[in-house]
Chain A
Amino acid sequence: MNPEKPLPLQGIRVINFGWVFAGPYLATMLGDLGAEVIKMETRSRIDSMRLSPDNLDRDPDRDPWFHSGVRNQLSVTLDMEKPEAIPIIKDLIKKADIVVENFAPRVMRQHGLGYDSLKEINPGIIMISLPATGHYGPLRDAQTYGPSLTGLAGVDGMVGYHGERVLGLQQAYADVNSALHGAFSVLAALWYRKRTGKGQFMDMAQLEAVIGIAGEAVMEYVINSNVLGTLGNRYPAMCPHNNYPCQDDDKWVSIGVKTEEEWASLCQAMGKPELSRDPRFGDKFLRMKNVVELDNLITGWTMGYTYYEAAEILQQHGVAAAPCLDTEGRFFDPHLQERRTYLEVEHPITGVDFVANSAWALSENPTEIRLRSPILGEHNSYVFKEILGMSDEDIARLEEAKVIY
């Protein structure tokens, strides 16, 4: 570690019970910021992030998703279902600052690890739970996956071509969103503890964190009883506002026009300055009315260029545009490359991984992968011997009994 540039969370220890995948993502953010994060895992119920659909080898130490999403964390194997594991976990929590978990609401309490028990042994502990719907309320025990939560929260219903059937985001957006809000909340609680010494518990329902980021749709209903359906790429404050096809298969350029000045610039860029005086498109209202015709006209122009060419021409004219990159396109994009969006990391089992950088770039503390994604149980010895001072005999016995497993 560079003594000139200590990482913001150095000296903070996080115990991460999280699994697929809000908890682990939150913990990785804290790890990226310098905290020591210990991920609790067990072979008897393996975190399915280690066996994701992209893991073609079906080896828990070769999962591409896990390798990117869980780094700057240590891995310890302990089976919580074995009663003997609980005192060990509690000893560890005595020496920790933050506990992260996203099990169903009853799980931690059933194991004697609810917040009420933890604050008895460590009054300053900060604990965050990221359950689907929260720790109380009639839907508390509802089983849900992240992609269904955006349906339940009113977001997926807006995703689909305008006026057509619902398609949905098809992504665990709720997990990522609550992980990010959760990281912010943990840091706020840590800031408070620094001033007052007091820890606390946070119940972050993924459902609620998602509704908050769809505030505009909530307000539409609250103010005018207006219920939004599928929106396609339309956004009322902008027109045109769409992704347009370019040369080559499945290549698109995104274009957004907010002001009349930008509209005139777009017409100029397309070599059709007279369009800006066309009565069909004279203002945003008319453009919205005639949006199909408008989109066809723009498509006629974009089809003559690659998606990069189109974006560059438009940007030179002051029009907001960018290519719609896919997984491959991103890897080779000069801008994303210069910003170190994906970091090359060596891994003893897979060779070289490219893992995603943090969501932010800090001028003094650029993200480094200090610890590549851990092999299952890789840090048992460090945690059990160095942190907890357990003897080799004890460890061997617990391994034998599959408590450490």
Chain B
Amino acid sequence: MADRALTGLKVIEWASFIAGPYCGKLLADLGAEVIKVERPDGDESRQRGPFPDHVPHPEKSGLFLYLNANKLGVTLNPDTDTGKNILQDMIKTADILIEDHLPSEIEQLGLDYARLREINPGLIMVSITAFGQTGPYKDYKGYAINASALGGQSVCAGERGREPLTPPLCLGHYQSGTAGATAAMAALFGRDLTGHGQHVDISEAQVWATLHTGNQESSFIMHGMKRIRWGHRTPGVYPYTILPCKDGFISMIAIQGYQWKRFLELLGEGSVPEWYANEPRYQDRRELSLKYADEMDSLLAPWLMSHTKKEIYDLCLEKRIPFAPVRNMEEVVNDEHLKVREYFVEYDHPAAGRLKYPGAPGKFTETPWSIEVPAPLLGQHNEDIYCGRLGYAKQELAELRIGGVI
């Protein structure tokens, strides 16, 4: 097999659903060997779907298949003594362990970092939870909606007076997974310098509170400014808004004055329309965004509502106006640009058949991202790993299964 970016790295992914598995996916797609450890009843995302014709089937969940390609899959119940021993045996020879349990749970199991570093001092343990490994809420239960709430993300989306909107479809899990993979890579470089591994603590709330929205805190300290939600627009400059058109919505942002002028000229068929040019209240675009945004929205409406998304986008591309259509996934999957770039990839899976999946987050010239094997069936590699590597006899495999260990 060709030498890939992360060839030779050994990763154990003892994590479920999205955050930990996305972390493992990033490493696996660049060539690391990732052994996915599932409970005997399978990763949670196997139950999640989407399923062909909406019929649930643990081997046909679109989310599971997307997140777990390129991985080896074993089943294991670490609540049993034997299961725990097996997990420890696997961890002994691993570079990276990804896990997503509450700190109190993992301590109870005796698999916390302090103990694991004794059996493998070079281990890099990546723990991804809603609130992290320290602090008063470390053992609080938290889903993506709770992490985005505490992290200050939720209050940024939605309308004034109505409930804040959490990012859709657990987006935060992907962010915490990526933060985990990045920090794990850093810890590998650290290990080369010191000879020992370390504990990577990922709090999904912290990812929101720092990387995504952390800059707001310095504005608060400097000027007492607080970010609140403003519905379909963001004040500060007009336009920074999403407005309806004939068949959908257009995302309209023009930070530079010349960009906005180009759009006004488009409206006025060559020159800025008089209703705009002759109105002194509209000339300061900060004022416009703060005081007259509703008024301006309705003045733009007739033109927008008589054009489709495609018509508007084509015009904007031609005139170099940085507006863009709000597209749905049908439009995204069938997009010509993405086809030329071969973004979406197709591969076969023994149970789910041939499907299209999102592809590489980035294109590398030397070590391309690639899918080598589809997601594992439940327990597909039990024999390879337990017998082939850990030395259990085939006969014992059956006993482990009956004993509820695997």
A341:B227 contact, CB within 8 angstroms = no
Interface string of A182-203 (1 = CB under 8 A from B): 1111011111101110111111
A201:B365 contact, CB within 8 angstroms = yes
Q: Once bound together, how far apart are the Cα atoms of A177 and B237, in whole Å?
A: 24
A138 within 8 A of B: yes
**Contacts A143-B320, A177-B175, A180-B211 known; A322 to B232 CB distance under 8 Å?**
no
B137 within 8 A of A: yes
Tell me the nearest residue of chain B to A241, going by C-beta. Answer: B145
B324:A148 contact, CB within 8 angstroms = yes
Interface residues of B in 158-179 (CB under 8 A from A): 158-159, 161-171, 174-175, 178-179
Interface residues of A in 185-226 (CB under 8 A from B): 185, 187-192, 194-196, 198-205, 207-209, 211-226
B211:A359 contact, CB within 8 angstroms = yes
A377 within 8 A of B: no
Residues from chain A with Cβ under 8 Å of B321 in the complex: 143
Interface residues of B in 179-227 (CB under 8 A from A): 179-183, 185-190, 192-194, 196, 198-203, 205-207, 209-223, 225-227
Tell me the nearest residue of chain A to B324, going by C-beta. Answer: A148
Residues from chain B with Cβ under 8 Å of A242 in the complex: 145, 163
Interface residues of B in 86-114 (CB under 8 A from A): 113
Q: Once bound together, how far apart are the Cα atoms of A363 and B124, in whole Å?
A: 10
A8:B189 contact, CB within 8 angstroms = yes
Tell me the nearest residue of chain B to A257, going by C-beta. Answer: B143
**Contacts A53-B236, A54-B223, A327-B217 known; A137 to B341 CB distance under 8 Å?**
yes
Residues from chain B with Cβ under 8 Å of A139 in the complex: 317, 337
Residues from chain A with Cβ under 8 Å of B343 in the complex: 208, 211
A248 within 8 A of B: no
Residues from chain B with Cβ under 8 Å of A233 in the complex: 145, 163, 165-166
B157 within 8 A of A: yes
- Which of B60-68, B76-84, B379-387 contacts the other chain? B60-68
Q: How far in angstroms is the closest Cβ of chain B from A217? A: 5
The listed residue (B162, B223, B255) touching A64 by CB distance below 8 A is B223
Q: Once bound together, how far apart are the Cα atoms of A58 and B343, in whole Å?
A: 41
B249:A223 contact, CB within 8 angstroms = no
6 A-B contacts, Cβ less than 8 Å apart?
A54-B219, A181-B178, A223-B52, A235-B170, A330-B152, A330-B217
Q: Once bound together, how far apart are the Cα atoms of A149 and B322, in whole Å?
A: 10
- Beyond A362-B200, A363-B200, list 10 extra A-B contacts (CB 8 Å): A7-B190, A8-B187, A25-B211, A64-B218, A65-B215, A155-B168, A165-B244, A166-B232, A328-B226, A331-B221
Interface residues of B in 122-150 (CB under 8 A from A): 130-137, 140-150
A254 within 8 A of B: yes
A17 within 8 A of B: no
Tell me the nearest residue of chain B to A32, going by C-beta. Answer: B186
B168:A159 contact, CB within 8 angstroms = yes
Q: Once bound together, how far apart are the Cα atoms of A170 and B62, in whole Å?
A: 28
B135:A185 contact, CB within 8 angstroms = no
Residues from chain B with Cβ under 8 Å of A203 in the complex: 362-363
Interface string of A223-244 (1 = CB under 8 A from B): 1111111011101111001111
**Contacts A181-B362, A224-B54 known; A360 to B182 CB distance under 8 Å?**
yes
Residues from chain A with Cβ under 8 Å of B394 in the complex: none
**Contacts A10-B193, A191-B6 known; A327 to B328 CB distance under 8 Å?**
no
Q: Indicate the member of A54, A177, A189, A220 with the most B CB atoms within 10 Å.
A: A54
Residues from chain B with Cβ under 8 Å of A214 in the complex: 168-169, 171, 329, 358
The listed residue (A152, A171, A204, A219) touching B324 by CB distance below 8 A is A152
Residues from chain A with Cβ under 8 Å of B294 in the complex: none
A103 within 8 A of B: no
B336 within 8 A of A: yes
Residues from chain B with Cβ under 8 Å of A194 in the complex: 192
A13 within 8 A of B: no
Tell me the nearest residue of chain B to A20, going by C-beta. Answer: B255
6 pairs of A and B residues whose beta carbons are closest in the complex: A356-B214, A219-B62, A204-B362, A254-B149, A53-B236, A187-B185
B182:A227 contact, CB within 8 angstroms = no
The listed residue (B187, B193, B203, B206) touching A362 by CB distance below 8 A is B187
The listed residue (B133, B186, B202, B255) touching A48 by CB distance below 8 A is B255
A67 within 8 A of B: yes
Interface string of A75-103 (1 = CB under 8 A from B): 00000000000000000000000000000
**Contacts A64-B215, A360-B200 known; A221 to B365 CB distance under 8 Å?**
no
Residues from chain B with Cβ under 8 Å of A304 in the complex: none
Residues from chain A with Cβ under 8 Å of B148 in the complex: 254
Tell me the nearest residue of chain A to B214, going by C-beta. Answer: A356
Residues from chain B with Cβ under 8 Å of A156 in the complex: 242, 249, 251, 326
B327:A154 contact, CB within 8 angstroms = yes
**Contacts A211-B332, A322-B150 known; A350 to B222 CB distance under 8 Å?**
yes
Q: Once bound together, how far apart are the Cα atoms of A10 and B186, in whole Å?
A: 11
The listed residue (A5, A54, A220, A244) touching B329 by CB distance below 8 A is A220
Residues from chain A with Cβ under 8 Å of B186 in the complex: 8-9, 33, 187, 362, 365
A324 within 8 A of B: yes
B155 within 8 A of A: yes
**Contacts A185-B364, A323-B149 known; A243 to B166 CB distance under 8 Å?**
yes
B74 within 8 A of A: no
B325:A364 contact, CB within 8 angstroms = no
Tell me the nearest residue of chain A to B17, going by C-beta. Answer: A237
B5 within 8 A of A: yes
Q: Once bound together, how far apart are the Cα atoms of A94 and B319, in whole Å?
A: 39
Q: How far in angstroms is the closest Cβ of chain B from A359? A: 4
B220:A208 contact, CB within 8 angstroms = no
A327:B332 contact, CB within 8 angstroms = no
B152:A65 contact, CB within 8 angstroms = no
B356:A169 contact, CB within 8 angstroms = no
Residues from chain A with Cβ under 8 Å of B222 in the complex: 54, 62, 64, 350, 353
Q: How far in angstroms is the closest Cβ of chain A from B68? A: 11
The listed residue (B22, B154, B198, B242) touching A167 by CB distance below 8 A is B242
A363:B199 contact, CB within 8 angstroms = yes
The listed residue (B158, B203, B252) touching A161 by CB distance below 8 A is B158
A243:B149 contact, CB within 8 angstroms = yes
B6:A354 contact, CB within 8 angstroms = no
**Contacts A148-B253, A211-B358, A326-B155 known; A256 to B322 CB distance under 8 Å?**
no
